[in-house]
Amino acid sequence: KAGVTQTPRYLIKTRGQQVTLSCSPISGHRSVSWYQQTPGQGLQFLFEYFSETQRNKGNFPGRFSGRQFSNSRSEMNVSTLELGDSALYLCASGGDTQYFGPGTRLTVL
Amino acid sequence: DAKTTQPTSMDCAEGRAANLPCNHSTISGNEYVYWYRQIHSQGPQYIIHGLKNNETNEMASLIITEDRKSSTLILPHATLRDTAVYYCIVQMKTSYDKVIFGPGTSLSVIP
């Protein structure tokens, strides 16, 4: 069974721009969660989608948003990028157990 | 703050068992202990989880104390590819918003 895939793997943006990251979950998984990982804050939960509905949300500003499509694929959007948004963005799918993708490395200049 | 505490770093000789401890003294009755590991710049990899019984799979064994306040992840025969940061977390199943990843234990397997 194929694992969680994320695109793109690397991204460079400038302050003020917006970005969209994509995640394809493991086939059959309906839950998709997003995390931000930085050296200073570690791995932090952003939000979770289940059957196209946001089920849980972490403590991030409204600039961070997401959605899930009927095929369970999910996208995450960050608007008005700030330098501090530079991070590894991880997507995970699963039920009782989460399986993580390889991440998207976002650099904001 | 994370609900778990782990040593910052550990070394283990290649071929020997690596025993990684985790304290979770405030764990509640319906929370599971999960272990993940992360090799540099990759996504975390699920290893094993358990509620109160010891668990074993092809990767590792998980020993949970009877009072559930601590656990130990055992890699029976560590290899160089086991060098990674190991995270111990506690969570109720599917309650991902409550999951807090601490800094984990950086395990170095020494040749």
The answer on pLDDT for A76 being more than 80 is yes
Q: Which of residues 45-64 of B touch A (CB under 8 A)?
A: 45-46, 49
- Cis geometry, peptide bond prior to residue A102 (ω within 30 degrees of 0): no
Contact B96 A48 (CB under 8 A): yes
Q: Is the pLDDT of residue A95 over 80?
A: no
A16: tokens are 């003020």
What confidence score (pLDDT) does residue B8 get?
96
**CA-CA distance, B109 to B96, in Å (whole number)?**
31
Residues of B with Cβ-Cβ distance to A44 under 8 angstroms? 101
Give per-residue pLDDT as tens, B59-92.
999 999 999 999 999 999 999 999 999 999 998 8
Chain centre to alpha carbon of residue A10: 13
Binned at pLDDT 50, 70 and 90, residue A48 comes out as very high
Q: In this model, does residue A3 exceed pLDDT 90?
A: yes
Share of chain B above pLDDT 70, in %: 97
| DSSP strand pairing (A10-13 vs A104-108) | parallel
pLDDT surpasses 70 at A1: no
What is the rounded CA–CA span in Å between residue A54 and residue B61?
Answer: 34
pLDDT at B47: 97
User: CB distance B99–A48 less than 8 Å?
Assistant: no
A30 conformational bin, left if phi > 0, alpha if psi -120 to 50, beta if neither: alpha
Contacts of A88 in chain B (CB under 8 A): 41
